[in-house]
Structure 1
Amino acid sequence: MKLFTKEQLTKLLHNGSPEQRGKDHKPVVKLFTPDAGCTWLLTEVDSEETDLAFGLCDLGLGFPELGYLSVAELISVRGRFGLPVERDRHFEGKYPISVYADAAHRKERIITENNTLLQLIATVIQQA
Protein backbone atom coordinates (compact mmCIF):
# COMPACT_ATOMS: atom_id res chain seq x y z
CA MET A 1 0.00 0.00 0.00
CA LYS A 2 1.24 3.50 -0.77
CA LEU A 3 1.53 5.82 2.19
CA PHE A 4 -0.45 8.60 0.48
CA THR A 5 -3.11 8.81 -2.18
CA LYS A 6 -2.51 11.35 -4.96
CA GLU A 7 -5.02 13.69 -3.35
CA GLN A 8 -3.38 13.40 0.05
CA LEU A 9 0.09 14.00 -1.38
CA THR A 10 -1.18 17.08 -3.23
CA LYS A 11 -2.66 18.45 0.02
CA LEU A 12 0.46 17.57 2.06
CA LEU A 13 2.70 19.34 -0.49
CA HIS A 14 0.37 22.37 -0.54
CA ASN A 15 0.51 22.56 3.28
CA GLY A 16 4.30 22.24 3.10
CA SER A 17 4.75 25.08 0.63
CA PRO A 18 6.68 28.12 1.91
CA GLU A 19 3.46 30.16 2.11
CA GLN A 20 1.59 27.52 4.15
CA ARG A 21 4.37 25.97 6.22
CA GLY A 22 4.00 26.26 9.98
CA LYS A 23 0.25 26.88 10.03
CA ASP A 24 -2.02 24.85 12.29
CA HIS A 25 -3.32 22.53 9.55
CA LYS A 26 -5.71 19.64 10.00
CA PRO A 27 -4.00 16.25 9.67
CA VAL A 28 -4.21 14.98 6.10
CA VAL A 29 -3.30 11.36 6.73
CA LYS A 30 -3.07 8.90 9.63
CA LEU A 31 -0.40 6.22 9.38
CA PHE A 32 0.15 3.34 11.80
CA THR A 33 2.03 0.12 12.35
CA PRO A 34 -0.47 -2.74 12.72
CA ASP A 35 1.97 -4.71 14.86
CA ALA A 36 4.00 -2.13 16.79
CA GLY A 37 1.70 0.52 18.28
CA CYS A 38 3.14 3.49 16.36
CA THR A 39 0.92 6.23 14.91
CA TRP A 40 1.59 9.35 12.83
CA LEU A 41 -0.80 12.19 11.92
CA LEU A 42 0.82 14.12 9.09
CA THR A 43 -0.12 17.65 8.10
CA GLU A 44 2.49 18.52 5.52
CA VAL A 45 5.36 17.38 3.30
CA ASP A 46 8.01 19.98 2.54
CA SER A 47 7.42 21.04 -1.08
CA GLU A 48 11.14 21.72 -1.55
CA GLU A 49 12.52 18.69 0.35
CA THR A 50 9.88 16.03 -0.34
CA ASP A 51 11.41 13.45 2.01
CA LEU A 52 10.62 15.69 4.97
CA ALA A 53 7.16 15.45 6.55
CA PHE A 54 5.69 17.17 9.60
CA GLY A 55 3.11 15.91 12.04
CA LEU A 56 2.26 14.36 15.37
CA CYS A 57 4.32 11.22 16.02
CA ASP A 58 3.61 8.53 18.60
CA LEU A 59 6.06 5.65 18.83
CA GLY A 60 3.97 3.92 21.49
CA LEU A 61 6.17 4.96 24.40
CA GLY A 62 3.77 7.45 26.01
CA PHE A 63 5.48 10.59 24.69
CA PRO A 64 3.79 11.74 21.45
CA GLU A 65 5.35 14.84 19.94
CA LEU A 66 5.13 17.20 17.01
CA GLY A 67 8.08 17.10 14.69
CA TYR A 68 9.67 16.37 11.34
CA LEU A 69 10.37 12.91 10.02
CA SER A 70 11.73 11.24 6.91
CA VAL A 71 9.19 9.77 4.50
CA ALA A 72 11.83 7.27 3.35
CA GLU A 73 12.29 6.10 6.93
CA LEU A 74 8.53 5.69 7.34
CA ILE A 75 8.46 3.51 4.24
CA SER A 76 11.24 1.34 5.68
CA VAL A 77 9.69 0.90 9.16
CA ARG A 78 8.59 -2.62 10.05
CA GLY A 79 6.80 -3.77 13.17
CA ARG A 80 7.44 -6.83 15.32
CA PHE A 81 6.12 -9.22 12.71
CA GLY A 82 7.63 -7.42 9.73
CA LEU A 83 4.47 -5.58 8.69
CA PRO A 84 4.95 -2.18 7.03
CA VAL A 85 3.35 1.14 7.95
CA GLU A 86 -0.24 1.40 6.72
CA ARG A 87 -2.59 4.28 5.97
CA ASP A 88 -5.88 4.49 7.87
CA ARG A 89 -8.32 4.68 4.96
CA HIS A 90 -11.15 5.88 7.20
CA PHE A 91 -9.37 8.72 8.98
CA GLU A 92 -10.49 12.28 8.34
CA GLY A 93 -8.75 15.11 10.19
CA LYS A 94 -11.47 17.29 11.69
CA TYR A 95 -9.45 19.57 13.95
CA PRO A 96 -6.16 21.47 13.70
CA ILE A 97 -3.08 19.44 14.63
CA SER A 98 -2.75 21.47 17.85
CA VAL A 99 -5.98 19.88 19.14
CA TYR A 100 -4.67 16.36 18.44
CA ALA A 101 -1.31 17.27 20.01
CA ASP A 102 -2.95 18.61 23.17
CA ALA A 103 -5.13 15.51 23.48
CA ALA A 104 -2.11 13.25 22.85
CA HIS A 105 -0.11 14.94 25.58
CA ARG A 106 -2.99 14.59 28.04
CA LYS A 107 -3.64 10.92 27.20
CA GLU A 108 -0.01 9.98 26.42
CA ARG A 109 -1.05 8.62 23.03
CA ILE A 110 -2.63 9.90 19.83
CA ILE A 111 -6.41 10.14 20.10
CA THR A 112 -8.49 10.29 16.91
CA GLU A 113 -11.91 9.22 18.21
CA ASN A 114 -14.23 12.19 17.81
CA ASN A 115 -16.16 11.71 21.09
CA THR A 116 -12.96 11.55 23.15
CA LEU A 117 -11.55 14.62 21.42
CA LEU A 118 -14.78 16.57 22.00
CA GLN A 119 -14.73 15.63 25.70
CA LEU A 120 -11.12 16.80 26.02
CA ILE A 121 -11.91 20.05 24.19
CA ALA A 122 -14.88 20.66 26.53
CA THR A 123 -12.67 20.02 29.57
CA VAL A 124 -10.08 22.51 28.35
CA ILE A 125 -12.77 25.14 27.73
CA GLN A 126 -14.25 24.61 31.20
CA GLN A 127 -10.82 24.98 32.83
CA ALA A 128 -10.12 28.25 30.99
Structure 2
Amino acid sequence: MSQIIPDNLREIMIHNAQEVQNELEKDHQPVVRLHSKYGKVQWLLSELDEKNEIAYGLCDLGQGKPEIGYVSLLQLESIKHARLKVPMVEMDPDFEGLYPMSVYLKAAINHKAITIDAELLKAEIGR
Protein backbone atom coordinates (compact mmCIF):
# COMPACT_ATOMS: atom_id res chain seq x y z
CA MET A 1 0.00 0.00 0.00
CA SER A 2 1.19 3.45 -0.89
CA GLN A 3 2.24 5.72 1.99
CA ILE A 4 2.33 9.02 0.11
CA ILE A 5 -1.29 9.86 1.03
CA PRO A 6 -2.50 9.63 4.65
CA ASP A 7 -5.26 7.16 5.50
CA ASN A 8 -7.95 9.80 6.14
CA LEU A 9 -7.48 11.30 2.66
CA ARG A 10 -7.19 7.85 1.04
CA GLU A 11 -10.61 7.00 2.46
CA ILE A 12 -12.14 10.09 0.86
CA MET A 13 -10.53 9.24 -2.47
CA ILE A 14 -11.76 5.63 -2.29
CA HIS A 15 -15.26 6.85 -1.47
CA ASN A 16 -15.14 9.26 -4.43
CA ALA A 17 -14.13 6.39 -6.75
CA GLN A 18 -17.04 4.30 -5.48
CA GLU A 19 -19.45 7.16 -6.17
CA VAL A 20 -18.19 7.39 -9.74
CA GLN A 21 -18.50 3.62 -10.21
CA ASN A 22 -22.09 3.79 -8.95
CA GLU A 23 -22.80 6.83 -11.17
CA LEU A 24 -23.58 9.04 -8.17
CA GLU A 25 -20.95 11.73 -8.77
CA LYS A 26 -18.49 12.54 -11.54
CA ASP A 27 -16.86 15.89 -10.73
CA HIS A 28 -15.30 15.71 -7.27
CA GLN A 29 -13.05 18.28 -5.70
CA PRO A 30 -9.40 17.27 -5.68
CA VAL A 31 -8.46 15.71 -2.34
CA VAL A 32 -4.67 15.90 -2.53
CA ARG A 33 -1.96 17.76 -4.40
CA LEU A 34 1.25 15.89 -5.08
CA HIS A 35 4.27 17.63 -6.56
CA SER A 36 7.90 17.11 -7.42
CA LYS A 37 10.34 18.66 -4.99
CA TYR A 38 12.66 19.73 -7.79
CA GLY A 39 10.45 20.61 -10.71
CA LYS A 40 7.09 21.77 -12.03
CA VAL A 41 5.42 18.35 -12.09
CA GLN A 42 2.21 18.09 -10.05
CA TRP A 43 -0.99 16.13 -9.65
CA LEU A 44 -4.40 17.04 -8.21
CA LEU A 45 -6.07 13.75 -7.30
CA SER A 46 -9.67 13.05 -6.38
CA GLU A 47 -10.23 9.28 -6.64
CA LEU A 48 -8.35 6.11 -5.76
CA ASP A 49 -8.67 2.49 -6.86
CA GLU A 50 -7.52 0.94 -3.59
CA LYS A 51 -6.82 -2.50 -5.06
CA ASN A 52 -4.40 -1.26 -7.73
CA GLU A 53 -3.18 1.97 -6.06
CA ILE A 54 -4.19 3.92 -9.17
CA ALA A 55 -5.37 7.49 -8.62
CA TYR A 56 -7.46 9.68 -10.93
CA GLY A 57 -7.06 13.39 -11.37
CA LEU A 58 -5.40 16.28 -13.11
CA CYS A 59 -1.82 15.54 -14.15
CA ASP A 60 0.75 18.16 -15.14
CA LEU A 61 4.18 16.97 -16.26
CA GLY A 62 5.43 20.55 -16.63
CA GLN A 63 5.28 20.59 -20.44
CA GLY A 64 2.35 23.01 -20.83
CA LYS A 65 -0.26 20.31 -21.48
CA PRO A 66 -2.02 19.32 -18.26
CA GLU A 67 -4.62 16.59 -18.65
CA ILE A 68 -7.04 14.39 -16.77
CA GLY A 69 -5.76 10.86 -16.31
CA TYR A 70 -4.61 8.06 -14.06
CA VAL A 71 -1.37 7.66 -12.14
CA SER A 72 0.14 4.86 -10.08
CA LEU A 73 0.85 5.99 -6.53
CA LEU A 74 3.38 3.19 -6.12
CA GLN A 75 5.24 4.40 -9.19
CA LEU A 76 5.26 8.00 -7.91
CA GLU A 77 6.62 6.83 -4.57
CA SER A 78 9.40 4.91 -6.30
CA ILE A 79 10.86 8.02 -7.98
CA LYS A 80 14.03 9.00 -6.14
CA HIS A 81 16.57 11.79 -6.61
CA ALA A 82 19.48 10.38 -8.64
CA ARG A 83 22.22 11.53 -6.27
CA LEU A 84 20.51 12.01 -2.93
CA LYS A 85 18.22 8.94 -3.17
CA VAL A 86 15.38 10.82 -1.44
CA PRO A 87 11.77 10.70 -2.68
CA MET A 88 11.08 13.19 -5.47
CA VAL A 89 7.29 13.36 -5.06
CA GLU A 90 5.62 14.69 -1.94
CA MET A 91 2.16 15.70 -0.80
CA ASP A 92 1.25 19.34 -0.17
CA PRO A 93 -0.15 19.23 3.40
CA ASP A 94 -1.70 22.70 3.03
CA PHE A 95 -3.70 21.99 -0.14
CA GLU A 96 -7.48 22.25 0.07
CA GLY A 97 -9.56 21.50 -3.02
CA LEU A 98 -12.23 24.20 -3.12
CA TYR A 99 -13.72 23.64 -6.57
CA PRO A 100 -14.76 20.65 -8.68
CA MET A 101 -12.02 19.09 -10.79
CA SER A 102 -13.57 20.58 -13.94
CA VAL A 103 -12.71 24.10 -12.70
CA TYR A 104 -9.07 23.14 -12.05
CA LEU A 105 -8.96 21.50 -15.50
CA LYS A 106 -10.26 24.63 -17.28
CA ALA A 107 -7.79 26.84 -15.43
CA ALA A 108 -4.92 24.44 -16.15
CA ILE A 109 -5.71 24.32 -19.86
CA ASN A 110 -6.04 28.11 -20.09
CA HIS A 111 -2.80 28.72 -18.15
CA LYS A 112 -0.89 25.69 -19.50
CA ALA A 113 -0.21 24.46 -15.95
CA ILE A 114 -2.09 23.40 -12.85
CA THR A 115 -2.89 26.42 -10.73
CA ILE A 116 -4.23 26.67 -7.21
CA ASP A 117 -4.46 30.47 -7.38
CA ALA A 118 -7.91 31.40 -6.02
CA GLU A 119 -8.44 34.33 -8.41
CA LEU A 120 -7.58 32.31 -11.50
CA LEU A 121 -9.87 29.49 -10.38
CA LYS A 122 -12.78 31.84 -9.61
CA ALA A 123 -12.45 33.29 -13.11
CA GLU A 124 -13.10 29.82 -14.59
CA ILE A 125 -16.43 29.31 -12.83
CA GLY A 126 -19.26 29.68 -15.28
CA ARG A 127 -17.08 29.80 -18.38
The structural deviation recorded for 1:46 is 1.4
Query: Structure 1 stretch 71-80 or stretch 90-99: which is displaced more?
Result: 71-80
Relative to the length of structure 2, the TM-score reads 0.85
Q: Distance in 2 between matches of 1:98 and 1:85?
A: 24
Deviations 1:2-60 (A, max 9, x none): 4211210110111112326861000000000010210000000014x332110000010
Aligned residues: 121
Q: Distance in 2 between matches of 1:74 and 1:51?
A: 11
Q: Distance in 2 between matches of 1:22 and 1:85?
A: 29
**Correspondence list, 1:55-74, <5 A:** 55-74=57-76
| Corresponding residue for residue 11 of structure 2 | 10
Q: Percent identity?
A: 37
The structural deviation recorded for 1:78 is 3.5
Tell me the C-alpha RMSD between the 2 structures. Answer: 2.0
Out of 10, 22, 26, the residue aligned to residue 23 of structure 1 is 26
- Residues 59 and 69 in structure 2, CA contact (< 8 A), matched pair in contact too: yes
| Corresponding residue for residue 97 of structure 1 | 101
Relative to the length of structure 1, the TM-score reads 0.84
| Corresponding residue for residue 110 of structure 1 | 114
